[in-house]
Copies of this chain bind each other. A is one copy, B any other.
Amino acid sequence: MVSHSSENPSDFPIPEEIAGLRMTRQRQEVYRILMQERNHPTANDVFMRIRETLPSVSLATVYNCLEALVQHGIIRQVNFDREPSRYCPNLDEHGHFHDESTGVIHDVRFKPGVNLADLLDLPPGAVIKDIEITLRGALA
């Protein structure tokens, strides 16, 4: 399906295919919601939000879409302890600061020139594929 502007009411273009993944209407919409709501929503948040524009999508489809987007490196899945997974369209290397008093999650970047792997006492021969940094605390 071609993304007519009337069907893509967002302020950024969504291509029909990204990284070899067919961008169906549902996936477009899930991605658009993630780009608009930068609050690291859960699958259920996305589900409730998507019903406004595509009332027929099921929660299972939201999960499918999110997984497809994650698998293709278009978004990231973020886990805090055992809480429901959250999703994040920020692909830059970054961590997450979880403000416990408000529940808000802030993206946290490294200061320029910092390479975490250099600062760690890694087991010899370790090849890092992915780094996850989570901070918990509050804003004074």
List residues of chain A with CB under 8 Å of any chain B CB.
77, 79, 81-82, 85, 95, 97, 99-100, 106, 108-111, 114, 116, 119-140
A136/B130 in contact, CB under 8 A: yes
Contacts of A132 in B (CB 8 A): 132-136
Q: How many copies does the complex hold?
A: 2
Given the interface pairs A79-B79, A79-B82, the reply to whether A128 lies near B119 with Cβ below 8 Å is no
Alpha-carbon distance between A24 and B98 when the two chains are bound, in angstroms: 34
Most buried by B among A97, A99, A124, A132: A132
Given the interface pairs A131-B133, A133-B131, the reply to whether A123 lies near B97 with Cβ below 8 Å is yes
Contacts of A139 in B (CB 8 A): 123-127
